[in-house]
Amino acid sequence: MDRRALLGLKDSTSKTNGGSGATQASYLRLPTITANVTRPGGRRGVMTVETGLDTADAALRTRVAQSAPRLRAAYATVVQQAANALLPGAPPDVERLVTQLQAATDRTLGRAGARLLIGTVMVV
């Protein structure tokens, strides 16, 4: 019995997502980005943003993997700026955040082609 198959650690290039036909290898999940916010009453809170990148081009996918630390740094800057602009008790502007994160992605990679995917945006 292959234990790696049970844990999902087998080579993901041969698997496909559901019936979509897209390979899982085109998706790279990045660590959660966090930033400090001011909550109602002056208390401090945390804004968390889950991100990932879907890259169809194999050459760009390699560049994405190599640039992961730079992407995390660029995303942290964008999320902190969004958190600083957030009024206490107000929800984050997710559409604007996605636009700014996509622009940071394109700027960091040097070209367009990697599509930013947002998981959860949460302020606690």
What's the pLDDT at 19? Answer: 52
What's the pLDDT at 18? Answer: 52
Q: CA 5 → CA 8, 10, 12, 15, 51, distances in Å? A: 5, 5, 10, 11, 26
pLDDT digits (tens, 9 = 90+) for 65-120: 999 999 999 999 999 999 999 999 899 999 999 999 999 999 999 999 999 999 99
Sheet with 114-123, edge to edge strand ranges: 27-38, 44-55, 114-123
What's the pLDDT at 89? Answer: 87
What's the pLDDT at 47? Answer: 96
What's the pLDDT at 3? Answer: 52
CATH class, 28-123 region: alpha beta
Q: Where are the domains of the chain?
A: 28-123
Name 114's bridge partners. Answer: 55
Given a contact cutoff of 8 angstroms between Cβ atoms, the answer to whether 52 and 102 are in contact is: no
Average of per-residue pLDDT across 31-44: 93
pLDDT digits (tens, 9 = 90+) for 2-18: 554 544 444 444 444 55
pLDDT averaged over the chain?
86
What's the pLDDT at 1? Answer: 47
